[in-house]
Structure 1
Amino acid sequence: MTEKGGQVMIKHANIAIASTGYSMGWTAPINSKLTDPVNSPLGRPATTDEIAWMGSLLNIGAIFGPFLGGFAASKIGRKWGLMSSAIPLFIAWIMVAVASNMPILYAARIIWGIAVGMLFTISPMYCAEIATDDSRGALGSFLQAFITLGFLLVYGIGPFISYHVVAYVGLVFVAVFAVAFFFMPESPTYYLLKDDREGAAECLGVIRGRSRNGVEAELNLIASDVAASMERTATIGDVFRGSNFKAFYISCTLVFFQQFSGINAVLFYMTDIFKASGTSLNPDIATIIIGAVQVVSSFITPLVVDRLGRRILMLISSCGTAIGAGLLGMFFLLDHNDSPVVESISFLPVLSLVLFIVTYCWGLGPLPWAIISELFPIEVKAVASPIATALCWILSFLVTYFFPSISNSIGMHVGFFIFGVCCVGSFFFSLLVLPETKGKSFQEIQIMLGGGQKPEKA
């Protein structure tokens, strides 16, 4: 079973991630239903300001979710921490299904965000701890791939079914995850942290598809790392010391560039972008095309990341997103200035978005999460990862809330030019600062971050 077994388990875990993609992409087809003056499920059309708040509030919940997720992962385990994320997902979908006013939708979006924050904290941790060193990047990259599956599903069915059926599908999605993941094993690292070597051996045997003797050597290596980590108790202060701080600022910088590439502004307001471009292509159909492109491109990264490495994919991704954002900015600048050229290049937004999203899915989307799960030692991970994840969603809130305001006041082109500049910054950060973790064990990564020195014991 080995790597294949790990892939099966991670795919089961990432059904929940696909569900969050469905939740995050929900605004794209639903905004037009809520603003419909005749058929709005609220009994009245939602205002532009209400739509902007609804698109942003998921990020508020996601700021707090990582701390709840980190606590759950430490206290009840990675598996049950992931399982517990189904509770807020269920609650939020029920609220969406019965919503009769905007405050209920606001609350549902915040509760969704809590689940998203939990999953984005625990899922990379679980993936990293059950993967082998030479498959960790591939298995960690599935997070982005499954998000895009969720996006594609809601893009594909949302425009053509009723508001309430979209919510019922969301409920079914969460139920499938809860049932499928119930039968998955716990992370062996968690068992070792609880001083249960037999439990760790049993679940590692299930993951690798081997006998107890067949996993003993790997179990000894994991136990050695865990034993070293248990000699130290990490606090928030430890995050800002030595190699931990280097891992922390790399992680925070990666999530900054991920969010300020502009991806969430593009995804949350994709239909509106197509309408603003004046393209003859139906915006709903264009959104489905983009969703399909996301899925295909996202499943490329797991196939190549452990061969090419993290850095080269981040360089390609940053370059491609910079060009895509720049072209979008140029198009909307011409449109803002009423240039006669606009009509003849109405294809450019679709082309630019395809380039942007394809290259984003190759690097800036999946790799920050995979790299964050690799950089921190075990005892620091539960403290540092929630902080980096919360920062991600703070930045996402800023982007999704202020992008429409910038677009309406000074032009959509300004936002895309800002995103393009940030993508250029990501390119140089990846080139000059980002360490290559391909094929390295957790201990080797810590030695590399420490400048070739083994990390000191606290």
Structure 2
Amino acid sequence: MDSPTGQRRISLDFQDGGLVDSKMEKFETEYEEQGSVKRQYIAATVANLAAMVAGCCMGWTSPTLPYLESTKYIILTKGEEGWISSILALSAAIGPFPAGMTANRYGHKKALLGTAAIYILSWILLTAAKGAGLMYVARFLFGLSIGATFTVVPMYVGEIAEVLIEHSYPWIKIRGALGSFTQLLCTLGFMYVYSIGPYVSYISLGVACTAVSVLFLVTMLFIPDSPYQLVKRGDREGARKALQWLRSKSSSGVNKELNELQVAVDEQASQKTSLRDLVATRGNVKALILSLGLVGWQQFSGINAVLFFSQAIFKMSGGTLDPSIATILIGVVMFLASGCTPLLVDRTGRRFLLLTSAVGMTLSQGVLGLFFFLRHIDVDTTNIGLLPVGSLIVYIIVYSIGFGPLPWAVMGELFSPKVKSTASSLTASFCWVLGFLITKFFQDIVDGLGTHSAFWMFSVCCGLAGMFVFFLLPETKGKSLQEIQLLLEK
């Protein structure tokens, strides 16, 4: 029964005219505050501004390299352009490891503030660059920050969010909703840089992106650290204040959750984790194979090549639509499609969305390869000039609802808490190494074998990704961690 003060009475029964507690069998009245989820959304949004900055960094090459080529503001060779695009992915493979250690020792908030400072420094260096050397340094630092972002932000959001919150609506899994913010804000970063990049100068674009990094740094100062990390460092009072702010509750209203955090920290402290634990059980080995496989096929779908070189791809297609407009359209579609994923994933299941994504990417990349093949053999493509735009829109939609966010979501469900942190860093590093190789050699494949061959190769990889999901990946929808672990052990 709800009280006028926004509190509810817990589990009381009437028996023989007396008031009896159903569990303790004694007279006792307890109250639990309702609280609010608004500040959890605020904190998750602020933390994921780091993902928006990461999207700006990754999408920066698409409008900038054509701008430099046309204006000669900075003269770069094709090889230098390849390194400027790909070095980010190489250093992003390194970033998760120091970021994870920093977060565990000093807390997620300080790790994110440090990431924000590196972002700002990197944008300043990039904006001031007059040649490839300083651009290499800036892009390398970007990669370290991006690797840190995609390691620390999901952990932070997962630790500040309550598992279940009761609204006047059906029960909502707040943790799943907040977890989807990373992909959403990252695509917002792409859309931001795609939208303004073609219409401003090199320096103006750098200033605009620096502004987002500064916004992230300033707002993060006002957001509390993870209560779990505060308890882990022995700051129980700090954890209490963080919980009060995040839950919008009084000091006594967070006692239960604070005690549960203390138990969880104590249990975790008693367990030593090493790389050997990743292969200690049959279930962990299968989880590792599935996780590496999913992020591997994600990269072999060609997503980084498409996003880093989208404007150049549209320019090569010779279509009737302005390449900069087409790129903006891709960014908008990616943002909107990413917003649909949280609404679909718990209704349709992971396997269905991944299979749909794989089939859609196979067909769209195959059609795109066919278009470039027709141009390669000098067939007039004037009447189908919009085909590349349509193909890439389909590709981005199906990628954004499947192989974009779900490999990371599935990974979080496959591993036990004991090895999840180690597995996350290893998987993220593997993902970025592949991203570096594909981004670095995409232009070489285009120059040597033709644009059509590059997209047909991606199409074949997408088909193999679908077979991987169909034959090897179990459905994790609606299953508890224990059920998933038993499923993997079979």
User: Scaled by the length of structure 1, what TM-score is found?
Assistant: 0.91
Match runs of 1:435-450 below 5 Å: 435-438=474-477, 444-450=480-486
- Report what 1:107 is aligned to: 137
2:427 corresponds in structure 1 to 388
> Cα 1:439–1:24, aligned 2, differ >3 Å: closer, same or farther?
same
CA contact (8 A) 1:257 1:426 kept: yes
Please say if 1:48 is aligned against 2:78: yes
The alpha carbon displacement at 1:373 in A equals 3.7
Distance 1:181 1:302 in 2: 25
Q: 1:95 to 1:239 in 2, by over 3 A?
A: same
Map 1:58-457 to 2 at 5 A.
58-133=88-163, 134-219=173-258, 222-242=261-281, 243-340=283-380, 342-438=381-477, 444-451=480-487
SS at match of 1:35: helix
How many angstroms apart in 2 are the aligned matches of 1:252 and 1:310? 16
1 or 2, which has the higher helix percentage? 1
SS state at 2:94 partner: helix
Q: 1:73 to 1:434 in 2, by over 3 A?
A: farther
1:8 aligns with 2:42: yes
Seen in structure 2, the aligned counterparts of structure 1 residues 373 and 397 have a Cα distance that, compared at 3 Å, is same
- The alpha carbon displacement at 1:135 in A equals 3.0
Following superposition, the deviation at residue 220 of structure 1 comes to 5.2
Instruction: Say whether the 8 Å CA contact 1:140–1:369 is kept in structure 2.
Output: no
Q: Is the 8 A contact 2:351 2:475 kept in 1?
A: yes
User: How far 1:419 sits from its partner (Å)?
Assistant: 1.6
Q: Residue 244 of structure 1 aligns to which amino acid in structure 2?
A: N
Q: Which structure has the larger Rg over C-alpha atoms?
A: 2
Tell me how far 1:290 sits from its aligned partner. 0.9
Contact 1:124 1:369 survives alignment (8 Å) = no
Q: How many residues align?
A: 445
Decide whether the 8 Å contact of 2:291 with 2:410 is kept in 1.
yes
CA distance in 1 between counterparts of 2:475 and 2:235 reads 33
1: distance between equivalents of 2:470 and 2:488? Answer: 20
- Check conservation: 2:56, 2:209, Cα contact below 8 A: yes
> Which ranges of structure 1 fall in alignment gaps of 5 or more residues?
454-458
Alpha-carbon deviation of 1:338?
A: 2.3
By how many angstroms is 1:195 displaced?
A: 4.7
Q: Give the superposition deviation at 1:400.
A: 0.7
Q: Calculate the aligned-residue CA RMSD, in Å.
A: 2.2
What is the aligned-residue identity percentage?
41
Write the distance in 2 (CA, Å) between the matches of 1:102 and 1:237: 41
Given the superposition, is the C-alpha separation of residues 433 and 10 from structure 1 closer, same or farther in structure 2, using an over 3 Å criterion? Answer: farther
1:34 alignment partner, one of 56, 68, 83: 68
**TM superposition shift of 1:9:** 1.3
Q: 1:196, CA displacement in angstroms?
A: 4.6
| In 2: Cα distance, 1:218 partner to 1:431 partner | 40
- CA shift at 1:374, angstroms? 4.0
SS in 2 for 1:57: helix
CA contact (8 A) 2:286 2:488 kept: no
